[in-house]
Structure 1
Amino acid sequence: MTFSIVASDGVDVGVAVASKFVAVGAVVPHAEAGVGAVATQCYANPRLGRVILALLQHRSPREALEKALAQDAEREIRQVGVVNARGEAYVHTGGKCPYYAGHIVGNGYAALGNILAGPEVLEAMAKAFETKRGELVDKLLAALEAGDRAGGDRRGRQSAALLVLRPGGGYLGLSDTYVDIRVDDHPNPVEELKRIFHIWELTLLQREDPSDVVSKRDVAAEVQRALKKLGFYRGEVTGVWDEATEEAFRDWAGYENFENKIRDDDKIWGTVYRYLLSKLNG
């Protein structure tokens, strides 16, 4: 009883999902970097996720899905979407999935859902995904938001999740988890998911505009005042970026989990600088 989208851009693979169901992110999304993504929903059988991902290593999405479902006696009440890392997608919507149930398969994605307000939910998701510019994560969020605005799950709202994997794209390059966030119970879960994503993006994703930087020399006084107010800098506000200022700035960045946003030159990312000033003015 869910609407979701599985997609790949040839590098990233991911799933975005929302539902009138608690903690939908614990049931629907499955993915493996370099392999593909799966959404298991409608009286979901989450075991199918890992089975299909294993089969995708050597089979097409259609072959993998059909082979997995052949062992499921309840396949007519299941809905499963699959995409491989090349962007080839396939969906099974069982004949007994509750109305309205359906899916749209496009270039690099598949949108699917059941107990929807109507086909307009899937149509809105497909259009948003196809027209949104940016990375896969941006396109998935746009699709989920569009489906929600078009009526989504006709029973209401409760939870949402977003999972995007990229080879080596995780924290400090030590995992494949590019984005993995969930809203388990909320009156407006898609909007809350977007809010959490903005925090994740600011803190963990390294995709700033290269031109969005400020010179430490130009903002030294403002940074010193902010760090002094926050208790990280104990010197005088001199307007000179010295070793004490650098140490205080790095201490604050680590405290705020921005360690992967520290540059080794004489610049600060604009996103981090503005966040620091927001703390000063907060």
Structure 2
Amino acid sequence: MTFSIVARSGPAFGIAVASKFLAVGAMVPAAEAGAGAVATQADANLRYRPQGLALLRTGLQSADVVAGLVATDRQRAHRQLGVVGPEGLGATYTGEECLDWAGGTVGDGYAIQGNILTGPEVIEAMESAWLSSPELAIDRRLVAVLAAGDAAGGDRRGRQSAALYVVSPGAGYGGGSDVACDLRVDDHPDPVGELRRLLDVHELFFGTPDPDTLLDLSGELQEEVQSLVTAHGYASLDIWAGVENLEERLVPGKIDPVVLARLRVGDVRNKA
């Protein structure tokens, strides 16, 4: 009922998943910075998530984590599982009673798996997308992999939900957590497309400013910015940015062009 990838990129771990299943993001993914990532699907065993992360914390390799999880599970023939740890190959498992087509593949730092798919071409397209896009940030790369699987046929029953979950040390909002991205599309006719749109919005509000593009907030630009902020009814750029949920893009003495564009687009001085 599901196709997914669990992967590692530098210190980050992530999972992207799509399915003809309501709110698949509530069931499949689990990840912990420094430990690894787990996806449980088919007849999902939600205990695999905390148990898998606990095993990864001990330093076990991905294949040993998978072996440990399924060894005592009497329903393992119906399970599908993907695991990736801090180093080495990912690991995947498909029980012999998972519904066709079902299977997976692994490589250095990734595991891809799916069941009730249109065929093995889904997994092949996902792996090709992962291997051909090392230059992308992990969140973009994972969504590209999901889109490739979807385009290749995906879940043969249709589409309903998708999710993206990424962790990296200190990458959460305000540096207060390790959850860099946690996006879910629970019920939608084009869940992968909608997930990509949500990632664009996430990047707008929570992305890190590119130091090479920052503009000095001085002279005429400073005057323009203050004029725009005042026209919006706020006393300072900080206050306006907080209201607009752009506070993560503020840099003292500088302005992110993304913030400036947003401020100019909403220029109330040009409204009748």
Query: Is TM more than 0.5 here?
Result: yes
**Contact 1:9/1:85 (CA < 8 Å) preserved in 2?**
no
Indicate how the Cα distance of structure 1 residues 77 and 213 shifts in structure 2: closer, same or farther if over 3 A, else same: same
Between the aligned partners of 1:124 and 1:219, the Cα distance in structure 2 is 47
**Contact 1:62/1:90 (CA < 8 Å) preserved in 2?**
yes
Deviation at 1:256, TM superposition (A): 1.3
Aligned to 1:81: 82
- Counterpart of 1:179 in 2: which secondary structure? strand
**Contact 1:56/1:84 (CA < 8 Å) preserved in 2?**
yes
1:4 and 2:4 equivalent?
yes
Aligned to 1:195: 197
Q: TM-score scaled by structure 2? A: 0.92
- Counterpart of 1:92 in 2: which secondary structure? strand
**Contact 1:168/1:174 (CA < 8 Å) preserved in 2?**
yes
1:229-271 C-alpha deviation (Å, 9 max, x unpaired)? 4322xxxxxxxxxxxxxx4211110111222221112x21111
- Counterpart of 2:212 in 1: which secondary structure? coil
Between the aligned partners of 2:10 and 2:57, the Cα distance in structure 1 is 15
Between the aligned partners of 1:258 and 1:85, the Cα distance in structure 2 is 32
CA RMSD of aligned residues (A): 1.7
- Counterpart of 1:38 in 2: which secondary structure? strand
What does 1:1-282 correspond to in 2, within 5 Å?
1-58=1-58, 59-132=60-133, 133-206=135-208, 208-216=209-217, 217-220=219-222, 222-224=224-226, 226-232=228-234, 247-265=235-253, 267-280=254-267
Q: Which amino acid counterpart does residue 232 of structure 2 have in structure 1?
A: L
Between the aligned partners of 1:226 and 1:159, the Cα distance in structure 2 is 40
1:208-242 C-alpha deviation (Å, 9 max, x unpaired)? 3322223333434543454344322xxxxxxxxxx
- Counterpart of 1:49 in 2: which secondary structure? helix
- Give unpaired runs (5+ residues) of structure 2: none
Runs (4+) of structure 1 exceeding 4 A deviation are none
- Give unpaired runs (5+ residues) of structure 1: 233-246
